[in-house]
Amino acid sequence: MTTFISSNLGYPRIGEKREWKHALESFWGNNITEKALINQTTKLRLANLEKQQKLGIDWIPVGDFSFYDHVLDTAFSFGVIPTRFQDLDEKSLDTYFGIARGTKEAVAAEMTKWFNTNYHYIVPELNDVTPKLVENRALTYFLEAKEKLGIIGKPVLIGPVTFVKLSKGYEENELSDWVEKFLPLYAQVLNELTEAGAEWIQIDEPILGTNISNQELELIEKTYQTLRAEAPQAKILLQTYFETVQHYQKVVQFPVNGIGLDFIHGESLELIKKWGFPKDKVLAAGVINGRNVWRADLDTTLELVEEINGAVDVETIILQPSCSLLHVPVTKDSESKMDPIILNGLSFADEKLKEIQAITEGANKGKASIQTILEESKTAREALAHSSYRQNQSVAQELKELEGEEVKRTIPFSKRIRLQREELKLPILPTTTIGSLPQTAEVKGTRTKWRKGDITNQEYLEFIDIETKKWIQIQEDLDLDVLVHGEFERTDMVEFFGEKLNGFAVTEFGWVQSYGSRCVKPPLVVGDVSWSNPMTVREIVFAQSLTKKPVKGMLTGPVTILNWSFVHEELPRFTVQNQIALALEKEVLALEKAGVQIIQVDEPALREGLPLDHLKWPAYFDAAIKAFRISTATVKPSTQIHTHMCYSEFSEIFEVIDALDADVISIETSRSHGELIDTFEKNKYDKEIGLGVYDIHSPRVPSVEEIKLNIERALRTIDAKQFWINPDCGLKTRGEAETVAALENMITAAKQVREAYSVTNK
């Protein structure tokens, strides 16, 4: 008879009210000491472990906590410190944070998305590094849980192949050599954990869900053969998630004690039914969605568990979320203002662990043992499914009219750009910013007062206007060519639209870590999405009234709104995406009608939303292109459409970017040190483009010379007539003084390059 055990893969590190974020930022602001930071985060970490214990989880993860990022933690533990930081103390938190955020002397390490999520990790740099075990972090946290709480936790490690694959600073043919350099260190970590009493050790290899080559598969197999030989007593759970495991038949035969599979995303059930599962291994089944926030259909989940059990012949099945709960908010208990119909349909991290515990009990004791929980869940789900949120017939009709229709601009870019240049009369190498400007404590505090009802709507709008006027003047004084209104009325580039579009709901405390201490509150797509009133026109028109220079209209695109929201699962995602696109089209046309000449529709999440399996890419790309065009294609030819993308590998999606048919695209390149420019050396791109010339995720102010080098590097590949100069992302999280100083240097650099170009081309 099979025994079912409950488990978790990882827990949110931020705290119910973002206590982790506040502690970090207080430390960075020199308001608390390092000792106070450690004390506060230790208290939070232990509380998280106790909570999971009280929720009935059998296998509780340890080592999933981080001060910034778990990939950076792994790098730091193994002495993988970028060359420019190697003269600093290899164990110091200042060095750790310097790598993540940069210092006055050194730029931060590159940051990019963790697979197809909105979580950013710090990219390890392997060049000029000799790996060594500086600290066994997993052991530290394991002993902490054991000694302070009596919890025998399940240490969590990033697997050696995934770690090296996500790193930079080596040639492709050196992958195997680099993995081998880390194996003795991993073996030491495993042995020390086992000696300390760790019963199971979770090693995450999400790279197995990607299209790895046969050679890479052999490397992974060899890796675990080595670890088995070097750490024979360690009980290894090889954990995968986010997608179907490629080469399933081979992977399940690896010399490990258990295999973790994602049964929510991909085809894991079909694979075990077809090929079976080794009798001598533990199967860890991800049966609760770790990436969405809706209540699970527990009856269906129990049926899934029964199907899994029927397809395998193992003694133990672990029931767990599909991935770490890092990607969802902590608890819905703090939500006090939400419609109960929506609230009852939600399941955040704590609620998901309750679902895991219930399913485990039902699997062990029978369905009748959790009948009350099943009925409660079913009632809540049905109430939301049959609510007015999901009965918008006019939206359904609009979508039907789009079926089979090709959506495109009325004339090609080569003709549009001539009209736009005549209208806008911008200089060569025009300067602009991406959109948002610094949101100070005063801005945030005033918004909080408004939300609490301490000030009126009119008082709030007047405050926003004052901030907008101040920053329009600053931009005028700096002599930027294309201005922005600053987005002071917006909490977040997606949540803002979630507050204004029909079919969305927003939370009070539904925070999720995006990068470092930066947390976002993804809105909830609860039903059919539609537009009812202008969302951005008032602020843009006011800003434009203050200047003769063009002010960009600023919107978030349909693909990004979808990917950065928690979307209900009653309709296909691409259908919901087109609903969002139709709503945004109405806003775009409202801006154009109000006289806005440049409209930016940002799609920073287009690349990150790609399925990990390349075979699923064409359908995703087709849907993304269609949705963006639905949003933007009906404007006049003279209206210039911009878009922005950040932290993406673009070589694989170059044709898709072109097919969006935006007139100007801006892309982050600063942290990748111009590597993206190689893409434009290999591909012809005829539209206009801005490659971010300095990194806004670091507080350091780049010099004029540094920015000039980035500009000149790009101009060796891209025609000056096509090139825009801008920071690599929005400036909301930066301070006012550093923002002005950095923009001043950027504009100075642009003018110097512009002058040199004019002299050369006389």
Mean pLDDT of 163-171: 96
CA distances from 375 to 62, 298, 368 (A): 33, 9, 11
The residue written with tokens 């870019």 in the block is: 413
Question: According to the model, what pLDDT value does residue 653 have?
Answer: 80
Which has more confidence, 550 or 394?
550
Whether the predicted pLDDT of 654 surpasses 90: no
Residue ranges of the chain assigned to CATH 3.20.20.210: 59-202, 428-760
Of 132, 230, 232, 124, residue with least CA distance to 181: 132
Which long-range CB contacts under 8 A does 424-427 form with residues at least 24 apart?
424/550, 424/597, 424/598, 424/640, 426/481, 426/482, 426/550, 427/481, 427/754
Question: According to the model, what pLDDT value does residue 647 have?
Answer: 54
Query: Degrees (nearest 5) of the Cα angle 752, 667, 548?
Result: 60
Which helix (H) or strand (E) segment holds residue 757: the answer is helix 736-760
Mean pLDDT of 711-726: 90
What region does 516 belong to: left with phi over 0, alpha with psi -120 to 50, or beta?
left
Which pair of tokens denotes residue 130? 């000799």
Q: Which ranges constitute the DSSP H helices of 339-412?
A: 340-343, 349-365, 371-385, 393-402
Whether the predicted pLDDT of 68 surpasses 90: yes
Question: According to the model, what pLDDT value does residue 380 have?
Answer: 96
Question: According to the model, what pLDDT value does residue 671 have?
Answer: 53
CATH architecture for segment(s) 428-760: Alpha-Beta Barrel (3.20)
CA distance 420 to 724: 15
Binding site members for Zn(2+): 644, 646, 668, 729
Q: Which amino acid is at 259?
A: I
**What pLDDT digit, counting tens, does each position of 104-158 carry?**
889 899 988 899 998 999 999 999 999 999 999 999 999 999 999 999 999 999 9
* The CATH number of domain 59-202, selected from 3.40.50.920, 3.20.20.60, 2.40.33.20, 3.20.20.210: 3.20.20.210
Question: According to the model, what pLDDT value does residue 667 have?
Answer: 84
Of 232, 153, 249, residue with least CA distance to 200: 153
Query: CB–CB of 643/607 below 8 Å?
Result: no
Question: According to the model, what pLDDT value does residue 290 have?
Answer: 98
Which pair of tokens denotes residue 465? 């206007």
Q: Establish how many alpha carbons lie within 13 A of residue 141's alpha carbon, considering only the half-sphere containing its beta carbon.
A: 28
Query: CB–CB of 223/162 below 8 Å?
Result: no
Q: What order of strands is seen across the sheet that includes strand 566-567?
A: 502-505, 524-530, 566-567
Question: According to the model, what pLDDT value does residue 339 have?
Answer: 96
Confidence of residue 608 (pLDDT cuts 50, 70, 90): confident
What 3-state DSSP class applies to 28?
A: helix
Binding site members for 5-methyltetrahydropteroyltri-L-glutamate: 18-21, 113, 118, 518-519, 564, 608
What 3-state DSSP class applies to 741?
A: helix
Of 136, 182, 137, 134, residue with least CA distance to 159: 182
- The three-state DSSP-derived secondary structure of 557-579 is CHHHHHHCCEECCCCCHHHHHHH
**What pLDDT digit, counting tens, does each position of 425-438 carry?**
999 999 999 999 99
Query: CB–CB of 133/189 below 8 Å?
Result: yes
Question: According to the model, what pLDDT value does residue 675 have?
Answer: 58
Task: Give the rounded distance of the alpha carbon of 274 from its chain centre.
Answer: 34
Active site residue 485: no
Whether the predicted pLDDT of 292 surpasses 80: yes
Question: According to the model, what pLDDT value does residue 406 have?
Answer: 84
Confidence of residue 672 (pLDDT cuts 50, 70, 90): low
Q: Which ranges constitute the DSSP H helices of 489-550?
A: 495-498, 537-544
Mean pLDDT of 86-108: 92
Whether the predicted pLDDT of 453 surpasses 80: yes
**What pLDDT digit, counting tens, does each position of 317-345 carry?**
999 999 999 999 999 999 999 999 999 99
Question: According to the model, what pLDDT value does residue 681 have?
Answer: 72
Question: According to the model, what pLDDT value does residue 674 have?
Answer: 55
Mean pLDDT of 196-220: 97
Which helix (H) or strand (E) segment holds residue 185: the answer is helix 175-195
Confidence of residue 692 (pLDDT cuts 50, 70, 90): confident
CA distance 660 to 299: 42
**What pLDDT digit, counting tens, does each position of 381-414 carry?**
999 999 999 888 888 899 888 887 789 999 999 9
Which has more confidence, 406 or 191?
191
Mean pLDDT of 16-35: 97
Question: According to the model, what pLDDT value does residue 695 have?
Answer: 81
Give Dmax (Cα) for the chain: 85
Mean pLDDT across the chain: 94
Tell me the CA end-to-end span of the chain in Å, nearest whole number. Answer: 85
Q: Which amino acid is at 505?
A: A
Which helix (H) or strand (E) segment holds residue 201: the answer is strand 201-204
| Global pTM value | 0.90
Confidence of residue 645 (pLDDT cuts 50, 70, 90): confident
**What pLDDT digit, counting tens, does each position of 520-547 carry?**
999 999 999 999 999 999 999 999 999 9
Task: Give the rounded distance of the alpha carbon of 700 from its chain centre.
Answer: 23
Which pair of tokens denotes residue 96? 């750790």
What b-and-e string marks burial along 344-371, b requiring 16 or more CB atoms within 10 Å of the CB?
bbbbbbbbbbbbbbbbbbbbeeeeeebe
Mean pLDDT of 732-737: 90
Mean pLDDT of 265-269: 95
CA distance 644 to 728: 9
The CB density around residue 458, as the number of other CB atoms within 10 Å, is 8
Mean pLDDT of 271-300: 97
Burial of residue 221, with CB atoms counted within 10 A of its CB: 0-12 exposed, 13-18 middle, 19 or more buried: middle
Q: Establish how many alpha carbons lie within 13 A of residue 452's alpha carbon, considering only the half-sphere containing its beta carbon.
A: 7
Q: Establish how many alpha carbons lie within 13 A of residue 537's alpha carbon, considering only the half-sphere containing its beta carbon.
A: 13
Torsion 620-621-624-627 (CA) sign? negative
Question: According to the model, what pLDDT value does residue 673 have?
Answer: 46
Name the packing angle between helices 349-365 and 298-311 (round to 10°). 50
Which helix (H) or strand (E) segment holds residue 502: the answer is strand 502-505
The CB density around residue 403, as the number of other CB atoms within 10 Å, is 7
Percent with pLDDT over 70 in the chain: 98
